[in-house]
Every structure is written in structure tokens, then in C-alpha cells.
């Protein structure tokens, strides 16, 4: 099911629940009930519940957005390190240089096609991707410099291999969901309590109150969907992209 359809259904469902409960409560309310007699303490509690829940939602959105941004940074760091290796091996002999560059392109091609789909569908990196990376590492580390110029380039190349490996490990660790289940329980329970406090204020069936209650519940549904969408950096709507690899190694994704 498309994510935009999930969002639309969630927002409509939230609105529908509020409207239905309001209509049922209105029909079952006693004739002598006066909504103008809502105690001041209930209005005070409702205000603070809304404030606290808004803070929690803001922190949750900031957390998942930071995780998504970090995931994109891992991709950028890995692609940059591999590109530096590909460029710096120009001081090596032709056979060694071409072998390293070919293995890097094979690795990048696997990442942007097969491995990227695996991360999105299964939340993990592939064993073949690890083997291809190890081949690049071996190409760089096993080469014995023949000249002083090559010797000067050798250690920086090892540093770039280390940087690429660290970025790959970080990318692998950020493929899954970042929000613990207990946090989701708190967010959903908070939404129920926050929307439920609307009925503590004895909302009635006027058009204005119904519209505002529906929009309020739809807004909360949208924010929860936004958190869920950002929660898995590589597999949902607003995801980290493979553009750094494609930009630095054009043609590998074909």
C-alpha cells in the first residue's frame, strides 16, 4: 500500500473516530447537561497535557530526523572515501591502478543496486557487498610501493580504506528502525489521552467544534505518520539516498 494512502487513511480514521464519539456522546448526554459548566481545572489539565505531548512529539520528530540525517552522512562519507582511493591510486602502475578502480566500481555498483534494495526490504547489508569491499581493502593493503612517491601515497590510501570501512559499518547499523517500542507506546497513548481530553471539555455537535476536533486529530495522526516515515532511514518515504555514490561514480547504477 502506498505511504501517502496510509497517511490519508490514518488522518481520515482519526477524524472519523472523533466525530463518531462526539455524535454518540451527544445522543446519550442527559438533557440537563450544560457544557458551559466545565470545571476550570479540566481546562488547565487539558492545556498542559497538550503542551507536554507537543514537546514529546517535537523531540521524537527531531530524533528520527537526526537519525535520517546521520544515515545520509554515512553514505556521503563512504562514497567520498572510495572516490579518494580511486583518485589517489593514479600514482600506482597501470595494472594495480586499474584493478583497484575496477573493484571499487564493482563494489559501488552492487551497493547502489542490490544492497540498497536489501537494506530497504530486509534492514541489513549483504554478504556479497562485504566481500567486494574486502577485495578493495586487499587491493590497497597488499600492494607494495615501488617508489618513494608511491610510498608517500600508501598510508593516506590506507586511511581512506579505514574511513570507508567505518562508514560502511555505520550504514549497516543504521538500516533498522531507531524508535524503541516503548516510545511508540508512549506516543500512541499520549495521542489517545490528548484527543480524549477534547471530550472532557464536553464538546457538542456544532459545526465549528466538529471541524476543529477533526483537524486537531488529523494533525496528530500526520505527526505520528511523519515520525514513522523518518524512523527507518533507508526504507520509507523520506529516505537517505544513494546519490553520493551515483554522483561520484556515474554509470555504476545503470
Q: For residue range 124-176, what is the model confidence (pLDDT) as tens digits?
A: 889 999 999 999 999 999 888 888 888 888 899 999 999 999 999 999 888 87
Q: What is the tens place of the pLDDT at every residue in 58-113?
A: 888 888 888 888 888 999 999 999 999 999 999 888 898 999 999 999 999 999 98
- Please calculate the CA angle 135-137-143 and round it to the nearest 5 degrees: 100
pTM: 0.73
**Domain limits of the chain?**
65-176+242-253, 179-231
Contacts for 104-107: CB closer than 8 Å, 24+ residues apart: 104/136, 104/249, 105/249, 105/252, 106/132, 106/135, 107/82, 107/132, 107/133, 107/135, 107/136
Least confident piece of the model among 30-34, 59-63, 198-202:
30-34
Question: CA 83, CA 92: separation in Å to the nearest integer?
Answer: 16
| C-alpha cell recorded at residue 164 | 570507508
Higher pLDDT residue, 103 or 8?
A: 103
Amino acid at each position: 500500500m502506498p505511504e501517502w494512502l496510509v497517511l490519508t487513511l490514518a488522518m481520515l480514521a482519526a477524524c472519523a473516530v472523533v466525530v463518531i464519539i462526539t455524535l454518540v456522546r451527544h445522543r446519550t448526554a442527559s438533557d440537563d447537561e450544560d457544557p458551559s459548566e466545565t470545571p476550570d481545572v479540566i481546562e488547565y489539565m487539558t492545556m498542559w497535557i497538550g503542551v507536554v505531548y507537543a514537546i514529546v512529539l517535537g523531540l521524537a520528530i527531531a530524533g528520527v530526523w537526526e537519525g535520517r540525517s546521520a544515515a545520509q552522512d554515512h553514505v556521503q562519507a563512504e562514497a567520498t572515501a572510495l572516490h579518494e582511493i580511486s583518485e589517489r591510486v593514479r600514482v600506482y602502475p597501470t595494472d594495480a591502478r586499474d584493478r583497484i578502480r575496477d573493484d571499487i566500481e564493482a563494489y559501488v555498483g552492487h551497493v547502489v543496486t542490490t544492497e540498497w534494495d536489501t537494506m530497504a526490504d530486509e534492514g541489513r547489508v549483504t554478504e556479497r557487498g562485504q566481500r567486494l569491499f574486502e577485495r578493495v581493502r586487499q587491493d590497497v593493503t597488499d600492494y607494495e610501493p615501488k617508489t618513494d612517491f608511491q610510498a608517500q601515497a600508501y598510508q593516506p590510501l590506507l586511511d581512506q580504506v579505514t574511513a570507508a570501512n567505518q562508514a560502511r559499518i555505520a550504514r549497516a547499523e543504521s538500516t533498522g528502525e531507531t524508535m524503541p517500542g516503548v516510545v511508540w507506546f508512549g506516543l500512541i497513548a499520549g495521542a489517545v489521552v490528548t484527543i480524549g481530553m477534547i471530550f472532557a471539555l464536553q464538546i457538542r455537535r456544532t459545526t465549528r467544534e466538529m471541524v476543529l476536533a477533526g483537524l486537531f486529530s488529523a494533525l496528530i495522526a500526520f505527526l505520528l505518520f511523519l515520525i514513522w516515515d523518518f524512523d527507518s532511514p533507508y526504507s520509507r518515504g523520506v529516505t537517505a539516498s544513494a546519490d553520493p555514490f551515483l554522483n561520484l561514480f556515474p554509470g555504476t547504477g545503470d
